Structure 1
């Protein structure tokens, strides 16, 4: 009986979450959409993606790397992380670096790469504010600054580079929650940077549907049955890891109408 009560409670939470996501006004965000970069195929249309990817030892980063390996649009992959990812492929080069908030010693490795998929992150649960800020703000901003520096990026108009930062649904600079405010600050500063194409991916529930994942969150084993129910109600809140990974490649090659990429936008990008 207790099991059934818990299950009903989870369903109620999920339904509430879906309602919340469906009330998000995708068009109403703090960024000026007139400055969005839609499609730069006329410039460097033959350029392949050379991507720096962080977080490959986590579920999202692992899926993004696997998809990039399989994609014909991606020519080279540089994995940067603190732990070995286990990927062995001719496209892949990996650098182990203990402190991602200080990349000075390896910055020259970033020369020639034109996309950054920053998937590294941490749950705010049980983490003090200083540590959370270092991981969620200092680390992505350090990567952004170093890539700008070594590739001589001076303005949005002098490059065709892409920076994608994985945040999360509910990110809001006016939130009562510290994690939401920190993520929003990071989004703002990335979008205001000199990268030509900048995107904040805000996924909700993610179905880990890429075969062979070693780092899928364990909880999905127990709540995965909710995905088809939620997806039938809302694409904004329920997406797949494959869709996130494909959407990143599409954003690099084709751009998108908005800097803020919610769940429904991820689906559109993946299918474009």
Structure 2
């Protein structure tokens, strides 16, 4: 399988990259983003570019993929709605539409978030925009489109967030992960489980097109839903 990953330098993207590089069915992973991952692997090829809204100049390079994992995201804190919409809606739609032209039979997996507003009418700005992005992506005629809505994500295997504040919070929460897993298991996942869930969705399909945190964990663990 050939896999394309947007946002492979982020926390979720790093987890996805790790799991797909480790899988024997994957022959190549191509990452596309503004920064290189800093990793070296025989299966890995990187495309670094500033413009993530227009892909016409690299359309030939987007052909032949079996799946695309869109892991790029940003916190809405302190952002104006138009700026947040550009990153959360415009960029994933541009990526999906470009890939659809070059690899129409691919599986497209988009990492959204718990609480996304599918009605697109709620008062919470970030939830409304995430919901709008989800709905637009689900309308595209790929072989399959899956939306992942993780909640609390534990970074594993040395993976770090690009947001400094999150890293501080993760370090502070480190002793409490086992308790969170026990108290709110349906709201806690990890970078490893998200990556494994993505791999399972590409290989075997999934139980639904939108997977909440608990379903992500079940798919990652190979449980029947």
TM-score computed with the length of structure 2 as normaliser: 0.91
**Equivalent residue, structure 2, for 1:269:** 219
**Equivalent residue, structure 2, for 1:71:** 23
**Per-residue CA distance 1:47-67 (angstroms, 9 max, x = gap):** xx3111011121111111111
Determine if the alignment matches structure 1 residue 117 to structure 2 residue 74: no
Choose the corresponding residue for 1:244, options 189, 194, 218: 194
Question: d(CA) in 2 for partners of 1:142 and 1:114?
Answer: 18
Question: d(CA) in 1 for partners of 2:185 and 2:25?
Answer: 26
Structure 2 matches for 1:46-65, cutoff 5 A? 49-65=1-17
Determine if the alignment matches structure 1 residue 170 to structure 2 residue 115: yes
**Equivalent residue, structure 2, for 1:184:** 131
**Per-residue CA distance 1:18-49 (angstroms, 9 max, x = gap):** xxxxxxxxxxxxxxxxxxxxxxxxxxxxxxx3
**Per-residue CA distance 1:156-176 (angstroms, 9 max, x = gap):** xxx3x2111111111013321
Could you list the runs of 4 or more consecutive aligned residues of structure 1 that deviate by over 4 angstroms after TM superposition? none
SS of 2:185's partner is: coil
- Cα distance, 1:145 vs structure 2: 0.7
**Per-residue CA distance 1:95-116 (angstroms, 9 max, x = gap):** 0010111112222111101101
Q: Which runs of 5+ in 2 are unaligned?
A: none
**Equivalent residue, structure 2, for 1:4:** none
**Equivalent residue, structure 1, for 2:159:** 213
Q: Which runs of 5+ in 1 are unaligned?
A: 1-48, 154-158
Indicate the RMSD between aligned Cα atoms, in angstroms.
1.4
Could you say which structure has the greater relative contact order, defined with CA pairs below 8 angstroms and 6 or more residues apart? 1
**Equivalent residue, structure 1, for 2:55:** 103
- Cα distance, 1:213 vs structure 2: 2.2
TM-score computed with the length of structure 1 as normaliser: 0.76
- Cα distance, 1:214 vs structure 2: 4.6
Choose the corresponding residue for 2:209, options 254, 259, 262: 259
**Per-residue CA distance 1:169-210 (angstroms, 9 max, x = gap):** 11013321111111111111111111121111100111112x
Aligned residue-pair number: 216
**Bigger Rg, structure 1 or 2:** 1
- Cα distance, 1:227 vs structure 2: 2.0
